Structure 1
Amino acid sequence: MAGTVRMYETGGPEVLRWEEYEVGQPGPGEVRIRHEAVGLNFADTYFRSGLYPSPLPAGMGVEAAGVIEAIGAGVPGFRVGDRVTYTGSPLGAYSTERVLPAQHLIGLPDAIPFETAAAMTMRGLTTAYLLRRIHPLRAGDTVLLHAAAGGVGLIFTQWAKVLGINVIGTVSSEEKAEVARAHGCDHVVIYTREDVAARVREITGGAGVPVVFDSIGETTYHASLNSLAKRGLLVCFGTASGPVPPIDAVQLAVHGSLFVTRPALADYIADPAERAELAGELFGHVAAGRIRVEVNQRYALADAVGAHRDLETGRSIGSSVFTL
């Protein structure tokens, strides 16, 4: 029997349940995958809490890596035994095996281990669109990145160095500051004891930064606005502390004709050609060693409750995965 994590109501980590189930065979356009590693992402907590609505009962998780065990009719480009990874699929990645639409799959190069893929597919593709699609950043630009020691943050800072972009990163502790620096963060601001916007102005000679990448949301929104240069762009790509406040258009003018966007990964990987291009660039950097993806926390799928508690209380550093 295969195992899976399901929820029958929304709420705290305690609503997650470990169950055995029959996987079944893939239908047209589908594949059955045996998972080797499963990604743990902060976005998973949004589905669990109900912030992101989903019909109940529901599975959990949208990212994993493994091997194709069976293929339904009408699935070109893949064979049984292929190594694959995916993100953005229907909920259900927290499982030992599953059936899912083949359209979500990305071929995984032999040079990239399954754990690495499960730890980076969502975070890496998120970083890819942030750095390569959102704003025409150039070598020598300086940006502000919140949660610089998080899973996206550690990939982002390394990729930024490849592109010649300077990163001011925020973290909550000296321990996380050391991690961020070790991965290429040029300036680290410990937001629990420093004024973020004031430090950004100090570092940039009063000008501010052209782009702020903010995955925190509610508690960092105003500091992000106050850190921007005139006509700067605030990229709100996550809400770890809660949704951003209602946007006051007049305040955007007062702060210097600012722009705000709320992008979603799904819109940047919906087109297969664009997804392949972003994934190819990501995998190339990782395979060549230009980007290191470190798995700092490993959990059993049956311990999804504990994993979510660690994630939400900030005990996690970098990437986490479920191992099978």
Structure 2
Amino acid sequence: MSKSILMHENGGPEKMQLEEVEVGKPGPGEVKIKHTAIGLNFIDVYTRSGLYKTPLPNAVGREAAGVIVEVGPRTKGFKKGDRVAYCGELGAYCQERIMGVKQLVHVPKGVSDEQAAAIMLKGMTTEYLIDHCAKPWLKKGDIVLFHAAAGGVGLLFGQWAKARGYKAIGTVSSPEKAALAKKNGYKWVINYTKQDVVAEVKKITKGKGVPVVFDGVGKDTWEASLDSLSPRGLMCSFGNASGAVAPQSPGILNAKGSLYLTRPSLGAYTATRADLEASAKSLFKMVKSGKVKIAIDQRYPLGEAAQAHIDLESRKTTGQTILVP
């Protein structure tokens, strides 16, 4: 038997309950994993609330690390005792699980289980945003804007952008988060509760605006993001932390300077096994190099997943958060 956070209906954090479940044995192409650390991400909130529709009941999370304790027949590339991690596979809020190996990657020496669990989704998101999605728009020395700079993706983004030679402006909601963002690679930080984001961006860029805005906030930052772009700039809208953006007319992109808009997902950038392995390899290489440092700022026991969601939604968390099975 294994303990699992199960959700039988969508709703608030209280809908997630700790239950005993029978795990069973892995079938062909599958492994049984004993989790050592589970990642917490805002997509878990979307799953729980029902914004992202998923089959019920489910164990909510999509990211974890652990060790393989049993291997099913005809399973290639993985063996008992391997340290592994994954993201994008629904059902991670549990002690043990059975899953196929399609989404699994090996965790190399020099990267801890906690680090891997905390950054698979956020880290590979950062990797595709900077190294693939926005790369055609950028050259070394360019200034970019990232919203929620003290969040999980935000702290990784600041370091990664600096390592690639870009100068990042980050938005935050408090002086404490501003200091944290500055420590993690941001050259400029805007406190949006006290400063006008667009005005500050224009001041920093001498009126030009930025070639790319990375916006994982959604509804609350949509207008400011578009108005911060230079002509023919790229609006990279990759999340909905404040809610989904209302339907827009394509004409808004013309009116604000022949802008480009993309709504990317990690799944599209890691759709093939080769893409997944390349992204994970790039992420782990960056961590082992020390150019991107991983700080686990919050740890919650698995049974306190509801409190972790409450803290995440109220923006009390910073950086990386894990659940401990």
| TM, length-normalised to structure 2 | 0.98
- 1:72 is matched by which residue type in structure 2? G
Residue matched to 1:118: 117
Residue matched to 1:17: 17
Post-superposition offset of 1:21: 1.1
Residue 178 of structure 1 pairs with residue 153 of structure 2: no
Separation in 2 of the partners of 1:101 and 1:172? Answer: 40
Separation in 2 of the partners of 1:272 and 1:175? Answer: 40
Q: Cα deviations across residues 173-217 of structure 1 (Å, max 9, x unaligned)?
A: 000000000011000000111111111011000000010000000
Contact kept, 8 Å, 1:151 with 1:317, in 2: the verdict is yes
Q: Cα deviations across residues 45-69 of structure 1 (Å, max 9, x unaligned)?
A: 0000000001222221000000011
Residue 39 of structure 1 pairs with residue 42 of structure 2: no
Residue matched to 1:93: 92
- 1:186 is matched by which residue type in structure 2? K
Q: Cα deviations across residues 68-104 of structure 1 (Å, max 9, x unaligned)?
A: 1111122211110000000011x21000000011111
- 1:129 is matched by which residue type in structure 2? Y
Residue matched to 1:80: 80
Post-superposition offset of 1:36: 0.3
Alignment of 1:42-61 (within 5 A): 42-61=42-61
Contact kept, 8 Å, 1:39 with 1:320, in 2: the verdict is yes
Separation in 1 of the partners of 2:289 and 2:210? Answer: 30
Separation in 1 of the partners of 2:280 and 2:9? Answer: 34
Post-superposition offset of 1:156: 0.7
Separation in 1 of the partners of 2:181 and 2:253? Answer: 30
Separation in 2 of the partners of 1:102 and 1:31? Answer: 7
Count of residues paired in the alignment: 323
**SS of residue matched to 1:64:** strand
Contact kept, 8 Å, 1:300 with 1:322, in 2: the verdict is yes
- Which stretches in structure 1 are left out of the alignment for 5+ residues? none
Separation in 1 of the partners of 2:74 and 2:204? Answer: 55
Residue matched to 1:323: 324
Alignment of 1:1-324 (within 5 A): 1-89=1-89, 91-135=90-134, 136=136, 137-324=138-325
- 1:126 is matched by which residue type in structure 2? T
Separation in 2 of the partners of 1:15 and 1:167? Answer: 38
Post-superposition offset of 1:313: 0.3
Runs of 4+ in 1 over 6 A off after TM superposition: none
Contact kept, 8 Å, 1:115 with 1:323, in 2: the verdict is no
- 1:193 is matched by which residue type in structure 2? K
Separation in 1 of the partners of 2:250 and 2:267? Answer: 26
Contact kept, 8 Å, 1:7 with 1:15, in 2: the verdict is yes
Q: CA RMSD in A?
A: 0.8
Contact kept, 8 Å, 1:83 with 1:107, in 2: the verdict is yes
- 2:46 is matched by which residue type in structure 1? Y
Contact kept, 8 Å, 1:221 with 1:245, in 2: the verdict is no
- Which stretches in structure 2 are left out of the alignment for 5+ residues? none
Contact kept, 8 Å, 1:119 with 1:321, in 2: the verdict is yes
| TM, length-normalised to structure 1 | 0.98
Separation in 1 of the partners of 2:30 and 2:114? Answer: 23
Separation in 2 of the partners of 1:58 and 1:116? Answer: 24
Separation in 1 of the partners of 2:132 and 2:275? Answer: 10
Q: Cα deviations across residues 237-263 of structure 1 (Å, max 9, x unaligned)?
A: 100000012122111111000111111
Q: Cα deviations across residues 261-303 of structure 1 (Å, max 9, x unaligned)?
A: 1111111111111111111111011012111010000000100
